[in-house]
Amino acid sequence: MQRETINISERMREEDSYLANVFQRYPIELVRGKGAYVWDSNSKEYIDFMAGYGVALVGHSNDKVVSAIKAQAERLITCHCSCYNDVRLEFLRLLASIAPKGLSKVFLCNSGAEACEAAIKIARKYTRKHGIVAAMNSFHGKTMGALSITYASKYREPFKPLLEGVNFVPYGDADKLEELLSGSGASIGAVILEPIQGEGGINVPPDGYLTRVRELCDRYGILLIFDEIQSGLGRTGRLWASEHWNVAPDIMCIAKGIAGGVPMGAVLARRDVMDALKVGEHSNTFGGNPLACAAAKATLECIIEDDLVGNADRIGKYMKDGLLTLKDRHRVVRDVRGLGLMLGVELRFDVKDVLMDGISHGLLMLYSGRNIIRLLPPLLIDEGIASKALSILDTLLAREEMRRGV
């Protein structure tokens, strides 16, 4: 066992020697996953509340998704969107049937950042205005356009100058947005928001905020873009997080778990908005490939047929109640927030030690800023898995309090 552990460490160092040094890495080599569990090279089991940053939406190696990928790989793996394809049509038909009202046109791509890049171009082409409003604590990706509408200076500063015309307003403060639009609205074509902020801290907007934003966009003739890359597809206990407030956007970006782990992103938009793009003005090579479309169709079928949205709502409430109990028990916890299975636990200290301690106790979790634990488990978890995770977290918080003497 000791020899194997040494070999694993050597493999980690070798991988580091090849891979660009741009990731905050966990000292763990994962080799297998099923449902809400993953296993490392030593066959140690972990409850995965990291889920590839929310990508394992329907669970690792979901049987339906795996079967769809295998079957499609034997038929046709790649087919550029310059040609028609049967499984692509089937996926698009299903996606359009569950999309927010009015979003009937789709651009397929490969990631969330790519979806946000496309949304920026679509908004500019339709409105003929280069200005865009984003929120403080937003995160939309790290490519140049997406980075321009991402708030954190640690991401932005090394790469300036970025896109011109980007304004940031406080998330949840519609008055500040109205103040900006009333003064600079002539140059602004779009507002982009995460209905619930992910990396920014699992921030849930106050009631009435998104409704007011929708009203302001309509008043000033501005497009409303929702980034549902992390919050969409059932994550929050509704198919789309914006449904909690009955607000529909003009453009919506999705990605992460849409294809069960296979890279895919998509932009959905009103027909008149998407049709502003003409042939050749935006495209890609791999977007809408049959393998990803087959996986995505199977993923959507799992979400719908297995009622994973309802499960996320039920188990999410169970999890949140459990986390609130831990908050009452542990002084190190400052706040608990989120909806469905998109949850955050804000601590009074840096969460790094808790995350690393979680690995040794068999629970994988994420950070959201320096002091917030982010929990994004697969939507298929049950009360048993949730209870076990809560028990581990209880232990971790107690150890953190002992470590810090609070």
Catalytic center residues = 139, 227, 256
Backbone angles phi, psi at 9, to 5 degrees: -60, -40
Answer yes or no: are the C-beta atoms of 350 and 255 closer than 8 Å. no
Rounded Cα distance between 238 and 244, Å, is: 7
Rounded Cα distance between 243 and 224, Å, is: 15
Closest CA to 159 of 170, 141, 144, 145: 144
Answer yes or no: are the C-beta atoms of 201 and 343 closer than 8 Å. no
Secondary structure class of 194 (helix, strand, coil): coil
Rounded Cα distance between 302 and 236, Å, is: 16
Dihedral sign for Cα atoms in the order 152, 155, 156, 158: positive
**What stretches of 194-306 adopt beta strand conformation (E)?**
223-227, 251-254, 265-269
Rounded Cα distance between 118 and 162, Å, is: 16
Rounded Cα distance between 277 and 282, Å, is: 7
Length of the chain as a residue count:
406
Rounded Cα distance between 152 and 9, Å, is: 33
Closest CA to 353 of 343, 342, 367, 341: 367
Could you give the angle at the alpha carbon of 103 between the alpha carbons of 64 and 256, nearest 5°?
40
Rounded Cα distance between 85 and 80, Å, is: 9
Helix pair angle (383-404, 308-329), 10° resolution: 30
279, 133, 342, 265: CA torsion to nearest 10? 10
Q: What is the DSSP string of 340-361?
A: TTEEEEEESS-SHHHHHHHHHT
